[in-house]
Amino acid sequence: MAIIVDKEQKKKDIALGTKALILKDGINNITISQIAKAAGIGKGTVYEYFKNKDEIVFELVEILMQEHNKQKEAELSKFTSTREKVKSFFSFFYIDADKELREIYKQFTAIALSSTNEDMLNFQTECYFLYEKWMEAIIQEGIQNKELKPEIKELIMGIFAFAQGAFIMSVTTNAITDLQQKIDNQIDMLFDLMEER
């Protein structure tokens, strides 16, 4: 036997090594050669770890999302009011701290829309269910405290799609100038309707 490299770790290293480049120019505007150079490996080696350029963005999203999820989980526990928890949850779409992940996520969404990839589908599905679970727990708390009417559940789940859509619109149109205001406002309206008084 000879060297055994940790394939998963090396994938991560390569992806992270090209992160800056992908953020700056977008995956469609950079070449495999540039990627190899940025990651400090040979062109052929890239193909030992990734089938194509798109998969590198996928790997990056997975890494950064996982990190993000950890932070978010900690963050959520800091808030006491249900409303603030929900707002904090969706802050991903506008806070400056998540700017990089957001850009990668944008590029990843473009990829997901134009190719069909089982792994990507499964990843996105898992994310969806994870977030749904979180949100359910948050809401449940509010309902048990008698802060909220039980009917809020499905409405709040709709905020997932709303926030995603608003984000896409903010990128693809000039019509949405203040995404945070848009999202927070929607959450406030729903909570105002659903608060037990």
Partner DNA sequence: CTATTTTGACCGACCATCGTTCAAGTATTA
Partner DNA sequence: TAATACTTGAACGATGGTCGGTCAAAATAG
Among 5, 136, 158, 180, binds a copy of itself (CB under 8 A): 158
Cα separation, 87 vs 16, in Å, equals: 29
Among residues 111, 105, 67, 89, which one has the least CA distance to residue 163? 89
From the CB of 151, what's the least distance to a copy of itself, in Å? 8
Binding site for DNA (CB under 7 A): 1-5, 7, 10, 30-33, 36, 41-45, 47-48, 52-53
Binding partner of residue 150 among DNA, a copy of itself, none, CB cut-off 5 to 8 Å per kind: none
**Residue type (1 letter), 52:** N
Cα separation, 58 vs 47, in Å, equals: 15
Nearer to DNA, 24 or 70 (CB): 24
180 binds a copy of itself, rule: CB under 8 A:
no
Phi and psi torsions of 37, nearest 5°: -60, -45
Which element (helix H / strand E) includes 161?
A: helix 152-172
**Residue type (1 letter), 73:** E
Tokens (6 digits) for 7: 């394939």
From the CB of 28, what's the least distance to DNA, in Å? 8
38 binds a copy of itself, rule: CB under 8 A:
no
From the CB of 102, what's the least distance to a copy of itself, in Å? 12
From the CB of 192, what's the least distance to a copy of itself, in Å? 9
